Amino acid sequence: MNATAEPFATEVQQAFAQLRTLLGPGGIIADPDELVVYECDGFTIPRARPLAVVFPTHTQHVSEILKILSRHHLAVLPRGSGTGLCGGIVAVTPGVQVSTARMKTIHQIDVRNRWALVDAGVLNLRLSDAIADAQLHFAPDPSSQRASTIGGNVATNAGGLHTLKYGVTVNHILGVEVVLADGSIHVLGGPHGHDIGPDFTGLICGTEGTLALITRVWCRLIPKPRAFRTALAIFDSTQHCCQTVADLIAAGIIPAALEMMDGAMIRIVEDAFHLGFPRSAQALLLIEVDGPEIGLEEDMNHIEQLARKNNATDIQRGSDPARRDALWSARRRAFAAIGRVSPSYCTQDACIPRSKLPMVIAKIAEICTRHHLQITNVFHAGDGNVHPVLMYDENDPAAVQRTLEASGEILRFCISVGGTVTGEHGVGIEKLPYMRDMFSPDDLHAMHRIRRALVTDDQMNPFKVLPRDGVTIDLEHPQRHVPQ
């Protein structure tokens, strides 16, 4: 990429002129003051303003935009709603964010065959709302679902509260329309889903905009569960709570959702939402089973048995829809509630074998104590997808440093017990250093080769997901250490 000042500035201005012609003046933001809000995603440590943000409204726009950016050697930074949690949209190298915010049409809904075709910028919950009357829904339900886009969900292979039973985003994607860096448009899969030939749709899911920009998605729709039972199991020990989770999985029980909160998070959520959680509890499990009405009580009986075997001090069961909504709403807003007690926080996203949960939670606590960090846990226990929340003050450089060090220790430990550094948030730039702990040079080289096959000039969200030899990205100054 040509980055010497004057010719580069000329390239940029030429590109901007062409983009304005294509999109109109309202289709591009290039004022540095207005770009502040685009300098990071939900992971607020690394910040770097893009050169501009552009707003296509349809696939052909995207194709033309990518051709323009390619001609002028500018990086393409795909952006949904910016709710990512690993710095995936940060401009570590000069580039233009291509936002799908104005690509928000639901093109087709086929209730009989249970699929919908949507623009990448359609918000996750909006699709489920659109098909609710047909007793269908789009199953991936990340906590961000009111704000995150389906394209963004696909790009990160987003998870959510109900992935234990229903799977992650890739399990609900029949096909995608994508634009490659050269502007070519490709349809992968479709309403029929994947049959024979390599599963390209499956590959694209989770590549975080580094291979292609997703413009449309064929979503698989599944029936809304007709009945449910929700339970709260209270524990006076996180270890007992974790063991309950391990025992449930080992017994072959698959609840629709199985979420854990530790004592600190219980108090934070209770202070924010007043749900009647016991403030003295050290841990709780939020459990849901769903499906046909018959059998749900028996399912819950079995779960309660295992919880009591692990010294649950109280179990509250119910089927009241209002109570259910309140509990899940509180769970989804738990992270936001942390803002009442800490100016900043950083959450990790490792996923570990479920049998290791008691050991890993204990180790996380020990690491954070050693680094003098306040921590709380709220996570998808049934998947083994831990979310330790490390609280810090971003205006305290020492605290930032301790947070990053503790995060690294946690991730490396999770890898050592057979886990992965990210269950659902993605790698972005945050977890780049740990990819070499997970994968060998040959493994990473294979991924780079795939990228090379589809991205000829390295424009697609460069320096994300895959580490590169000789490149270190300083999270606090993400534009400084990338070789030009």
Residues 123-182 that bind other proteins (CB under 8 A): 135, 156-157, 159, 163, 167-168, 170-171
Asked whether position 366 contacts other proteins by CB under 8 A, the answer is: no
Compute the least distance from the CB of residue 405 to other proteins, in Å: 21
Question: Which of 107, 274, 372, 452 touches other proteins by CB under 8 A?
Answer: 452
Concatenated DSSP letters for 211-246? Answer: S-EEEEEEEE-EEPPSEEEEEEEEES-HHHHHHHHH
Asked whether position 67 contacts other proteins by CB under 8 A, the answer is: no
Q: Give Rg (Cα) of the chain.
A: 23
Compute the least distance from the CB of residue 335 to other proteins, in Å: 18
Asked whether position 197 contacts other proteins by CB under 8 A, the answer is: yes
Compute the least distance from the CB of residue 41 to other proteins, in Å: 15
Residues within window 280-299 making contact with other proteins, judged by CB under 8 A:
291-292, 294-295, 298
Residues within window 301-340 making contact with other proteins, judged by CB under 8 A:
none
Distance CA(267)–CA(280), nearest Å, equals 8
Asked whether position 202 contacts other proteins by CB under 8 A, the answer is: yes
Residues within window 378-397 making contact with other proteins, judged by CB under 8 A:
380, 383-385
The H-or-E segment that residue 391 falls in is strand 388-392
Asked whether position 409 contacts other proteins by CB under 8 A, the answer is: no
Distance CA(56)–CA(132), nearest Å, equals 29
Contacts of 404 (CB under 8 A, 6+ apart): 45, 346, 475
Residue appearing with tokens 């009945």: 227
Which is nearer to other proteins, 158 or 391 (by Cβ)? 158
Concatenated DSSP letters for 371-397? Answer: TT-EEEEEEBGGGTB--EEEEE-TT-H
Asked whether position 422 contacts other proteins by CB under 8 A, the answer is: yes
Question: Taking the alpha carbons of 159, 164, 170, 172 in that order, is the dihedral positive or negative?
Answer: negative
- Strand, helix or coil at 479? coil
Paired sense of beta strands 95-99 and 75-79, if any? parallel
Q: Of the listed pieces 71-79, 146-154, 206-214, 468-476, which binds other proteins according to CB under 8 A?
A: 206-214
Asked whether position 184 contacts other proteins by CB under 8 A, the answer is: yes
Amino acid 119 reads: D
Question: Which of 1, 130, 191, 337 touches other proteins by CB under 8 A?
Answer: 191
Question: Which of 45, 307, 352, 375 touches other proteins by CB under 8 A?
Answer: 352
The H-or-E segment that residue 314 falls in is strand 314-318
Asked whether position 205 contacts other proteins by CB under 8 A, the answer is: yes
Question: Cα 356 from chain centroid?
Answer: 23
Question: Which of 119, 149, 425, 462 touches other proteins by CB under 8 A?
Answer: 425
